[in-house]
Amino acid sequence: MLAARHAGRQSWLEDYATRESSTGHPVATARALTILSFADESETAGATIARLDNHGGMVGRAAEAARFACDRNRWSCIGYQRLAETGDCVDFWRYGTLLAKIADAHMVLWTGDYVEGPLLDRFGYSLTRCSRRSGHDRLSRSTRTRMASWRQYS
Q: Per residue in 65-103, pLDDT tens?
A: 999 988 888 888 888 888 888 888 898 888 888 888 887
pTM of the predicted model as reported, rounded to 2 decimal places:
0.69
pLDDT at 37: 87
The pLDDT of residue 145: 56
Q: Name the residue type at position 79.
A: G
What whole-number percentage of the chain has pLDDT above 70?
71
Question: Count of domains in the chain?
Answer: 1
C-alpha closest to that of 11 among 50, 47, 40: 40
CB atoms within 10 A of CB 68: 11
- Mean of the pLDDT values across residues 24-52? 87
Q: Which of helix, strand or coil describes residue 48?
A: helix
Average pLDDT, the chain: 77
13 contacts 35 by C-beta, under 8 angstroms: yes
- Which structural domain, as residue segments, surrounds residue 14? 2-151
Could you tell me where the DSSP H helices lie in the chain? 2-6, 10-21, 26-37, 43-52, 57-85, 89-102, 107-110, 118-151
